[in-house]
Amino acid sequence: MPSHYCRASSTKLYLEPVVQSKSKLYQLYCEKCNEQQEVPLSRWVFDQIFIENNLSIFLPKKDQCDMCCSHSVGNISEGEYREHILKKNRVRQEKNQDKLRADNKEVHVFTHDLQSVQLCPKLEASAIYYKTKLCVHNFTTYNLGNKDVQCYWFDECTAGLVSSVYTSCIIDCLKKTLAKEVLPIILYSDSCTAQNRNVVLSNALLELAMDCNIQITQKILEKGHTQMEIDSSHSAIECQIKSRDIYLPSQYGFLSKEARPKQPYNVHFLSYDFFHDYSKYLMYDSIRPGRVANDPVVTNIRVLLYEPVGLIKYKLNFDDEYLRIIAQET
C-alpha cells in the first residue's frame, strides 16, 4: 500500500495493517513456503530483501505536524514557530466564525477530504494476504450547517486519483445543496494541491459561481493542523468496518450508512460515467499569483474567491486584501 498521508514525501510502500511485525510476516512467509513445498529463506536473507524493496510495517501517523516536531528538537527557530502557531490559530478563528454564519443560515460551509485507502477483499485469513486486492476510495463532504455528510465511494477500476475525480464529487455535492437553497458557499480543506488547490477545481468552481450567481470561497487550513469535522465521519466509518470481513467494494458503502444511525450518511456508489473531465475547458490557464521567479506560487495561497462576474481573487494571508489573479484566458 502507498502511504495515504505522506505520498508526497515518502517513497516507501507500507504493508497492510493485518501484519504488525516482521516476525509475523516471516511466519506467514514460512507457512506459504510449506504449502508450496519450498524451502524458506533464512530470517536474515528475508530481512535484507525486505529492506532492499523499501518496505515498512507501520503506517505513518497523520496527526503530527512537521513544523511542531522540528521545533521540539530545536531545528526551527522560535520566531518561525510562533508565526506557524499564529497562522494555525487565525484559520481556526476564521473557521469558527464561518461555522456560526452557517448556523445562522447565511452561508453553506463545507469541509471535505479523501479517506485513507481501503482494500477489498479485507479478510483476517492469512492466505488472502498474498492475493491481489482492489484499492477502494471514499471522498467525503461535511456540511457544517446541517451536519449532512456525502460519501462518494469508488474503486481503482472506476477512476484514478486525479483532480477531475475530486472536482466531480465536490461539484455534485454543491449542486445538490444549491438546488435546495441558494447561498454563498465556503469550502475548508487541507493543503493537498491535487485535491484542493489546482486550476481544474478552480475553473469548475468559477463556472458554478457564474451559473448560480453566488460567491464561492476556498479556505486552506494550516499544514500539519488540518483537523476538520469530516475527520469524525472517517473515524466513525473506520470503527464500523473494523474487524469486519469485506468481500465487495459496495460493502464499504453499506457499512458507511450504519456508521451514524441518527442521521445516516448519504452514500453514493460511483460508476465511470459519473466523472467529468473538467480539464478540457479552462477559462483560466493557471491560478498561480505570479509568473516569474520569486513571485508567490499556488502553495502560498490561503484563500481563493470565485465571483459570479468571472473573476478569481486570492489572499496569501487571511488578513490581507483580495488580489485578482491575472491569468491568460483561453
**Do residue 51 and residue 103 come from a single domain?**
no
24 is a domain residue: yes
Average pLDDT over residues 138-165: 93
Give pLDDT, residue 244: 85
Nine cell digits for residue 234: 472517517
202 is a domain residue: yes
**Do residue 111 and residue 214 come from a single domain?**
yes
| pLDDT (tens digit per residue) in 75-91 | 888 888 888 888 888 88
Confidence grade of residue 109 (pLDDT, cut at 50, 70, 90): very high
**Do residue 98 and residue 52 come from a single domain?**
no
Question: 163 to each of 114, 213, 275, how far by Cα in Å?
Answer: 12, 24, 11
Give pLDDT, residue 293: 79
Q: What global pTM score does this model have?
A: 0.78
Sign of dihedral through CA atoms 95, 101, 107, 113?
A: positive
**Do residue 44 and residue 167 come from a single domain?**
no
Nine cell digits for residue 85: 502557531
Enclosing domain of residue 174: 89-324
| pLDDT (tens digit per residue) in 272-287 | 999 999 998 888 988 9
115 is a domain residue: yes
287 is a domain residue: yes
Confidence grade of residue 7 (pLDDT, cut at 50, 70, 90): very low
Q: In whole numbers, what is the pLDDT of the chain averaged over residues?
A: 87
Nine cell digits for residue 288: 498561480
**Do residue 249 and residue 125 come from a single domain?**
yes
Give pLDDT, residue 104: 93
**Do residue 95 and residue 222 come from a single domain?**
yes
**Do residue 52 and residue 93 come from a single domain?**
no
74 is a domain residue: no
Task: List Cβ<8 Å contacts ≥24 apart for 42-51.
Answer: 47/22, 50/22, 50/25
Percent of the chain with pLDDT over 90: 48
- Please name which of 194, 183, 172, 176 lies closest in space to residue 216, comparing C-alpha atoms: 183
Among the residue ranges 91-95, 241-245, 269-273, the one predicted with the least confidence is 241-245
- Please give the tally of structural domains in the chain: 2
Whether the pLDDT of residue 191 is over 90: the answer is: no
**Do residue 105 and residue 153 come from a single domain?**
yes
The C-alpha cell 513456503 sits at 33
Give pLDDT, residue 256: 92
- Please name which of 65, 167, 186 lies closest in space to residue 114, comparing C-alpha atoms: 167
Whether the pLDDT of residue 118 is over 60: the answer is: yes
Higher pLDDT, 330 or 56: 56
**Do residue 179 and residue 113 come from a single domain?**
yes
134 is a domain residue: yes
**Do residue 240 and residue 96 come from a single domain?**
yes
Average pLDDT over residues 292-313: 90
Strand 108-114 relative to strand 134-143, pairing? antiparallel
72 is a domain residue: no
**Do residue 250 and residue 117 come from a single domain?**
yes
**Do residue 48 and residue 121 come from a single domain?**
no
Domain end among 56, 76, 107? 56
Whether the pLDDT of residue 6 is over 90: the answer is: no
68 is a domain residue: no
